[in-house]
Amino acid sequence: MKYKLILFMLFALPNILLNISIYSLDKTYIICVDTKRNWYWLQDNNKKYVEVNGIWNKWDSIKENPRAVYNFKFSYFLINEEQNFISKTIQMCKRNFGREYFIVQPANYSISNWSLFAINTDLFIGGFVDVLKNVKTKNNGYNKHLYSQKSLYFLGNDKMTNFLNSNIVYDLIFKNFY
């Protein structure tokens, strides 16, 4: 019996704990942003910073087009909240800071990269985003890394209720590349 318990503790328990940590939720804070990139931390009526549950992830254009020469990556926060959370948050931002603060974005620190919120892995809420661009060229049939550059883009329009799917994100970044 002790032998089975020891085997369980050595093999099964670490796997269980690893899976729990993989599927555990992260928390982040919300910033309210205007189109000039001025921003404020969103606070509730008790002056506590508003938190949102979800998972940090990376969007990678290679998943959209595996044979692409250009590769774009950015971080996003996949929210795990009620369906109308974003519209409520936008209203809070407008009420607290003025109607020009209609963009809501995730941030952990004041020096965080610009990232987007996502409803699912293919549906993003527009805003500013730091995009890492990688360009590869073919040299005798081998991929050669040409350069990497981080740029800030605004993805979306004046109506933040319009969501962006990953194909639109890809097109917007690619058009801004040149």
- The pLDDT score that the predictor gives to residue 126 is 85
Q: How far apart are CA 44 and CA 31, in angstroms?
A: 12
- The pLDDT score that the predictor gives to residue 12 is 46
What pLDDT tens digit does each residue of the chain (178 aa) get? 555 545 445 444 444 443 443 445 799 999 999 988 999 999 999 999 999 999 999 988 776 666 666 677 889 999 998 878 988 999 999 999 999 999 999 999 999 889 999 888 878 888 888 887 776 655 554 444 444 455 666 666 544 445 566 666 666 665 555 4
- The pLDDT score that the predictor gives to residue 93 is 96
- The pLDDT score that the predictor gives to residue 124 is 85
CB 86 within 8 A of CB 104: yes
CB 119 within 8 A of CB 79: yes
Quote the strand ranges of the chain, DSSP E. 26-33, 39-41, 51-60, 70-79, 103-107, 116-120, 123-125, 127-139, 142-155, 163-165
- The pLDDT score that the predictor gives to residue 42 is 97
Residue 134 identity (one-letter amino acid):
N
- The pLDDT score that the predictor gives to residue 81 is 87
Q: How far apart are CA 85 and CA 104, in angstroms?
A: 11
- The pLDDT score that the predictor gives to residue 73 is 82
14: left (phi over 0), alpha (psi -120 to 50) or beta: alpha
- The pLDDT score that the predictor gives to residue 125 is 86
pTM equals 0.70
